[in-house]
Structure 1
């Protein structure tokens, strides 16, 4: 029984592909190394060591998975993001795991990478996760889900029911803003000159990469049709606005705790810069 029969957003990791097998190996060895570092070298408790190791593995795997969605044509982006994400995880100590999972799901809703429209199990899980995060004060996740479902309802192959899911996510976001408002923070470290200039440069290069996706080379998983360029670009822009608003309205650590997304954006930029310098194709 295949999970894809119940969920249109599932993308099983097929180990017959070298890249998939490689990331599973990297994730497994990260798990082992992180566990023994915490338990044997630092002499932490067994349960605490296991949880830290699982988080280290997730920092690696989610960076790769997000890279596949954000920059689907360039496989290297997902792998370059791995060490960056792991480094940011070590700096932050943890990530916002549920928010990162939500971003992964809404990317798949919007870009239609699997070739299937969302099913009821997907809708229940996505809106349930959205409701939980909005209750926790992450109202931006509600707006992001709203945007992704609107993309799904408008761009071909359009799923008209998604407009109602978008409305539900929008209502959750508005209620979250009213009843669970997030604190705004003016962090001098975050807004110092070099940092703001660096973020502007990173996002400008990312925008140039988005322009390349008018006609994606990648195909959907099940229909084996080329990805819709407008869908891919729309979801890339959703990610851009999501991280940018968090950067501008919340404190420095709130951005670092989304390190897997920033890692992918940085990897996209680095590879485009490498292409510019070497004139080599990334495809």
Structure 2
């Protein structure tokens, strides 16, 4: 079955590309190292293997999100990957579902495949967002509603996503009234440092006005610069909200810090130079 008939925001991992082979190798290494590390802490073999699998998946999603944020530079996504090793392997920060949610949400906004999200994509993101909103925090619902709204108003708009935006907004408000209230907490020095560093480092990437060279996977047409920029803004707003509220059950902000800071560091150290493996 051709999966592209079901979803239009799927991006297959082609192993013929050097950077794709590299991330596959890194995922395998993280899986093994994380499993052995967890096993050394007197955990069972099955639990340790599951720890390794979720760790490897989290690193992959960090890489995939970074590719959405900076599509013109294949290598830049590996800086966030490197930064994520310690939180993923040592501290066990494996927010697989929240990371998957963010990846799909960004793809709806930036259209990295070149195509509008199809009905299956919309329903999948709606269901995942509703689940995370109900189980964790209204932030997921508000960000998703914003993403759908952007997609309904930006170039080549998907008008149905205005309805999806209203639905997610309603779910978010309902969640708050049901007692799922997430408020800004007293933040630690570490969180303040993380907040300031990622904002300062990531802002130049948002302000970059150069036309994108990357093309949509399915269409071969240049990506919409404004849409990608909106995706970047959505990412940093999401990261800021999770740092300020510190929703511990989501375990999301440390890896979002890795993405924003890593992309920012690459911009400072390498700039717009093309780096190939």
Structure 2 gap segments, 5+ residues each? none
Distance in 1, Cα, partners of 2:191 & 2:52: 30
Distance in 1, Cα, partners of 2:152 & 2:26: 37
Aligned ranges 1:141-220 → 2 under 5 Å: 141-184=140-183, 186-188=185-187, 190=188, 192=189, 196=192, 199-213=195-209, 215-220=211-216
Name the residue aligned to 1:132: 131
Alignment length, in residue pairs?
Answer: 275
Three-state SS of the structure 1 residue aligned to 2:72 is coil
Structure 1 position 213, deviation (Å): 4.8
2:99–2:252 contact (8 Å) kept in structure 1: no
Name the residue aligned to 1:281: 273
Structure 1 position 211, deviation (Å): 1.5
Q: 1:76 to 1:112 in 2, by over 3 A?
A: same
Q: Deviations over 1:92-127 (max 9, x none)?
A: 423332111110010000001111111121112111
Distance in 1, Cα, partners of 2:193 & 2:129: 32
Structure 1 gap segments, 5+ residues each? none
Give the aligned CA root-mean-square deviation in angstroms: 2.2
Aligned ranges 1:227-238 → 2 under 5 Å: 227-238=223-234
Distance in 2, Cα, partners of 1:33 & 1:90: 7
State TM-score, norm by structure 2.
Answer: 0.91
Q: 1:183 to 1:212 in 2, by over 3 A?
A: closer
Distance in 2, Cα, partners of 1:213 & 1:70: 14
Distance in 2, Cα, partners of 1:214 & 1:146: 28
Q: Deviations over 1:41-67 (max 9, x none)?
A: 444212111111112202221111111
Distance in 1, Cα, partners of 2:140 & 2:67: 20
Q: Deviations over 1:206-225 (max 9, x none)?
A: 11111215521211111111
Equivalent residue for 2:258, pick from 246, 258, 263: 263
Distance in 1, Cα, partners of 2:163 & 2:191: 40
Structure 1 position 23, deviation (Å): 0.8
Higher helix share: 1
Query: Is 1:6 matched with 2:6?
Result: yes
Three-state SS of the structure 1 residue aligned to 2:208 is helix
Structure 1 position 255, deviation (Å): 8.1
Q: Deviations over 1:70-96 (max 9, x none)?
A: 111121221111121121224542333
Q: 1:256 to 1:213 in 2, by over 3 A?
A: farther
Distance in 1, Cα, partners of 2:95 & 2:119: 26
